[in-house]
């Protein structure tokens, strides 16, 4: 069993505070993760989340000097050291696909989010990582209305980056159930619009079979109505539909199963019919 795989995302494997490696199923190779939330705090609590001891909260103050030191150390190890051999990474995946700001909570809750994005982009540029590798922010999108977040997104755009915007439900009830979020449809639409105005944006939909409910007609119809209504109004790079790959660390884990591939494929086809590029990932 490789030390790093799509089913093993040990963020402490290198013993660093802010930087961790992932073999990403969605990116298709090595993703260099940046964790602004080492305190395991998030403003949402998604029932499929793999973060143990997750708590409601925000990112703590970040040590920018330590972040810079760790990122340089890690990039040196990957580019010039024996990282791939030590981690037993398959040769086909020995490529840096992206630097992804993600981690153990909502990264945009960092108070100086824009400064941190600039720092990461500057270091990656020094190591000639871009444009062969992508610069990605994975976010639930709930804080994009904040000026400091929009400033950070525009910096991300300057480095050729992109936003992966989480949208796991099309209804207020679904967001409360799956994400433990009180965000309304209007708020989602407003923040998604702001995101697309700042930086190229992709929508990420995680479908899970919770308590054997499957994918309800209400949710499917809500998504399709949303995508139909926004066609031509905002630029969505693509939509990724995916499901569980690793066990949830939340209390609901016992009632969670991956969504059936056939269900996801049928849903993807319906979105494609509306003119969107859709990727389906089932592992």
User: What was the pLDDT predicted at 238?
Assistant: 95
DSSP-assigned letters across all residues of 11-56: TTTT--SSEEEEEETTTTEEEEEE-S-TT-EES---TT---TT-EE
Distance CA(149)–CA(182), nearest Å, equals 20
Token representation of residue 268? 């993807």
- Give the H or E element holding residue 170: none
How far apart (Å, rounded) are the C-alpha atoms in residues 101 and 152? 12
Is residue 151 within 8 Å of residue 112, measured between CB atoms? no
Mean pLDDT rounded to a whole number for the chain: 92
Q: Please tell me the predicted confidence (pLDDT) of residue 147.
A: 98
Dihedral sign computed on CA atoms, order 151, 190, 168, 277: negative
Residue 112 has pLDDT above 80, yes or no: yes
> For 99-168, what is the HEC assignment?
EEECCCCCHHHCCCHHHHHHHHHHHHHHCCCCCCCEEEEEECCCCCCCHHHHHHHHHHHHCCCEEEEECC
The total number of residues written for the chain in this structure: 283
pLDDT in tens, 224-261: 999 999 998 999 999 999 999 889 999 999 999 999 99
Which distant-in-sequence residues (6+ apart) come within 8 Å of 197 by Cβ?
none
8 forms beta bridges with 5
What is the percent of the chain with per-residue pLDDT over 70, rounded to a whole number? Answer: 93
**pLDDT at 55 (0 to 100):** 95
Whether the link from the prior residue into 243 is cis, omega within 30° of 0, is no
Q: Name the least confident of 14-28, 47-61, 70-84, 111-125.
A: 14-28
Dihedrals phi, psi of 47, to nearest 5 degrees: -70, -15
Separation of alpha carbons 59 and 35, rounded Å? 9
Q: Which domains occur in the chain, in start order?
A: 19-203 (3.20.20.70)
């Amino acid at each position: 069993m490789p030390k790093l795989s799509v089913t093993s995302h040990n963020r402490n494997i290198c013993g660093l505070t802010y930087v961790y490696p992932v073999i990403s199923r969605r990116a298709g190779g090595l993703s260099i993760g940046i964790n602004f939330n080492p305190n395991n705090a998030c403003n949402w609590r998604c029932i499929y989340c793999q973060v143990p001891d997750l708590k409601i909260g925000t990112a703590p103050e970040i040590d920018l000097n330590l972040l810079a030191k760790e990122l340089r150390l890690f990039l040196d190890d990957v580019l010039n050291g024996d990282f791939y051999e030590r981690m037993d990474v398959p040769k086909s995946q020995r490529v840096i696909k992206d630097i992804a700001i993600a981690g153990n909570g909502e990264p945009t809750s960092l108070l100086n989010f824009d400064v941190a994005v600039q720092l990461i982009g500057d270091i990656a540029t020094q190591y000639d990582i871009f444009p062969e590798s992508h610069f990605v922010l994975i976010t639930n999108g709930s804080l994009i209305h904040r000026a400091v977040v929009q400033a950070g997104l525009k910096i991300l755009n300057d480095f050729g980056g992109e936003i992966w915007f989480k949208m796991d439900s099309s209804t207020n009830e679904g967001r409360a159930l799956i994400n433990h979020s009180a965000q309304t449809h209007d708020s989602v639409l407003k923040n998604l619009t702001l995101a697309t105005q700042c930086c190229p944006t992709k929508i990420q939909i995680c479908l899970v079979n919770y308590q054997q409910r499957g994918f309800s007609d209400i949710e499917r119809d809500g998504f399709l109505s949303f995508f139909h209504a926004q066609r031509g109004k905002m630029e969505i790079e693509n939509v990724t539909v995916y499901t569980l790959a690793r066990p949830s660390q939340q209390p609901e884990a016992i009632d969670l199963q991956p969504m059936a591939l056939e269900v996801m494929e049928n849903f993807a086809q319906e979105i494609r019919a509306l003119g969107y590029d859709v990727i389906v990932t089932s592992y």
